[in-house]
Structure 1
Amino acid sequence: MDEPSEEVGLSVDVNGVKTNYHDLGDGPPVLLIHGSGPGVSAWANWRTVLPLLGRAHRVLAPDIVGFGYTDRPAGLVYGPDVWLEHLLGFLDAVDVPKVSVVGNSFGGALALRLAIAAPERVDRLVLMGSVGVPFEITPGLDAVWGFEPSLDAMRNLMRVFTYNGSAVNEDLVRLRLDAATRPGVHEAYAGMFPQPRQDGVDLLTLADELIAAVPHETLIVHGRDDQVIPLSNSVRLLELLDRAQLHVFARCGHWVQIEQGQRFAALLESFLAEQAAV
């Protein structure tokens, strides 16, 4: 099968790992960190946001090592430290010393980790349906991380991501299943979050005092009807982060950027524009 051209963007060497990424627009740089669903890539996660945000920003969206069309080095044991090192290496490789960071779900935990490990490299922080605080794994997230490839399983999973399934069509289901079953992709994915999958949640969790020390202006976004990551996560982040604000979309599931794409992009543009005015 030919690689879907839209998902394959530019390529850069990051510490020996051939990394697929998208680079769109001009202006203050923004790094988009995707989530951890089966078949995910930066393009699949952010395709609706890239052109909107790219009107006033340089938007960088890499496939994190182990995901999408970035190489999956043989024998690499995936985990938060590996993913953080890859993200920092990516910023070095594209010569971006400081960037605003938008993290979705699993990517939110990595965005937080980046802000904690290298605060001088982060302007503003956006956390969307984010992991990073303690919670009991939801049936939705357990289904995401425990995905076994089939058309029905992917169809059901796409419905879990959304409020009422209206954002899901058969073309999207087949596209994501094809992406999730490319050679080597599912094998790598299955090894990232093995049972008991609560361990995966705990591995991505950061200590309260580390989160509370994050100095950056932070926008927290969540869908009220999210079945994958509980809204209580974002409420807890609001309690911990001193310079944070929380926006909740009603009638919206885990895919805020797709179900509320125009409103989400406008919210992002407004929040990031404050950075330029400071």
Structure 2
Amino acid sequence: MDQNSKYLNINGISTHYHEAGQGEPVLLIHGSGPGVSAWANWRLIIPRLSNHFHVFAPDIVGFGYTDRPENIEYGVEIWTEHLINFIEKIGKGKVHIIGNSLGGALALHIAKKRPELVGKMVLMGAAGIKFPVTYGLDKVWGYEPSIANMKRLLEIFAYNQEFATDELAELRYKASVQPGLQEAFSKMFAEPRQPKLDALALPEKEIKQIKHPVLLIHGKDDIVVPFKETSLKFLELLPNSELHVFSNCGHWTQIEKKNEFAQLCENFLLSKETVHQ
């Protein structure tokens, strides 16, 4: 954990987050893998982005070091509301959003529900549109805790297997077995998984109505969220979108291509393109 680790009370939910830098506010929304947290997803990117932006990276309710309230029905409505309340609580007005996988879907839901809170969006390997559950996603959501299983998941996430290290497997495994975390995780994404994935999707007519500038980033070799069924489709539907696809890259663009990813985000967010509403 880094020294910029903090907590905020968001409607009674003790919410863990990281904060760094100065400038326009940027919200980083993590994905849904086991043992995930804002720090696990964004630790390589926060130092770079904080040179130009005021970065906020929360653990979504039910994940990381944020509370896991009893009797909560996890799903897109709860997660979206938690993040909207977080944006309002930090009091920065409009924020840019960078969303990874599940986080990309949630960014779209925030933009649809509260467009005035959102500036530009970067959607990386994003869900949020209907596609068949992949082998990779089924393995991620069906995770049973062990270091060996976590190592196999890292090998699914990354195209370059050098990133699937024993050290990272142990780190993510330990994070995945915090008290109550696996119970919450397995409930979120229990079988049948297709309806859980479909619930993250916005109707295509609603996606077309999102006018914010959007940068889509995807790994061509992503076997968790395949780019042809998602980002290519988003490119058709989102009226102010552009797409960058990395070859020889899986679901972890922000890790496998961290310098290129950060540069793309900086260029896009710093450009003076008008934000439409």
Normalised to the residue count of structure 2, the TM-score between the two structures is 0.97
**Bigger mean CA deviation after superposition, 5-14 or 75-84:** 5-14
RMSD after superposition? 1.3
Is 1:17 matched with 2:33?
no
- Does the C-alpha gap of structure 1 residues 132 and 274 become closer, same or farther in structure 2, counting only changes over 3 Å? same
Counterparts of residues 13-92 of structure 1 (less than 5 Å): 13-92=9-88
Is 1:244 matched with 2:221?
no
8 Å CA contact retained: 1:7, 1:44: no
Is 1:161 matched with 2:157?
yes
Is 1:123 matched with 2:124?
no
Q: Offset at 1:275? A: 3.9
1:260 aligns with one of 247, 257, 260: 257
Counterparts of residues 105-124 of structure 1 (less than 5 Å): 105-124=101-120
**Bigger mean CA deviation after superposition, 255-264 or 158-167:** 158-167
Counterparts of residues 92-103 of structure 1 (less than 5 Å): 92-103=88-99
Is 1:203 matched with 2:199?
yes
Q: Offset at 1:168? A: 1.7
How far apart, in 1, do the equivalents of 2:43 and 2:3 lie? 9
- Does the C-alpha gap of structure 1 residues 7 and 248 become closer, same or farther in structure 2, counting only changes over 3 Å? farther
Q: Which letter does structure 1 place at the counterpart of 2:268?
A: F
Q: Offset at 1:167? A: 0.9
8 Å CA contact retained: 2:160, 2:256: no
Q: Offset at 1:90? A: 0.6
Contiguous gaps of at least 5 residues in structure 2: none
How far apart, in 1, do the equivalents of 2:187 and 2:3 lie? 23
Q: Which letter does structure 1 place at the counterpart of 2:90?
A: V
2:271 aligns with one of 256, 271, 274: 274
8 Å CA contact retained: 1:124, 1:275: no
Normalised to the residue count of structure 1, the TM-score between the two structures is 0.96
- Does the C-alpha gap of structure 1 residues 277 and 116 become closer, same or farther in structure 2, counting only changes over 3 Å? closer
**Bigger mean CA deviation after superposition, 90-99 or 209-218:** 90-99
How far apart, in 2, do the equivalents of 1:89 and 1:179 lie? 25
Contiguous gaps of at least 5 residues in structure 1: none
Aligned pair count reads 274
Deviations 1:39-78 (A, max 9, x none): 0000000000000000000010000000000000111110
8 Å CA contact retained: 1:27, 1:57: yes
- Does the C-alpha gap of structure 1 residues 180 and 252 become closer, same or farther in structure 2, counting only changes over 3 Å? same
- Does the C-alpha gap of structure 1 residues 275 and 11 become closer, same or farther in structure 2, counting only changes over 3 Å? farther
8 Å CA contact retained: 2:189, 2:196: yes
Q: Which letter does structure 2 place at the counterpart of 1:242?
A: P
What is the aligned-residue identity percentage? 49
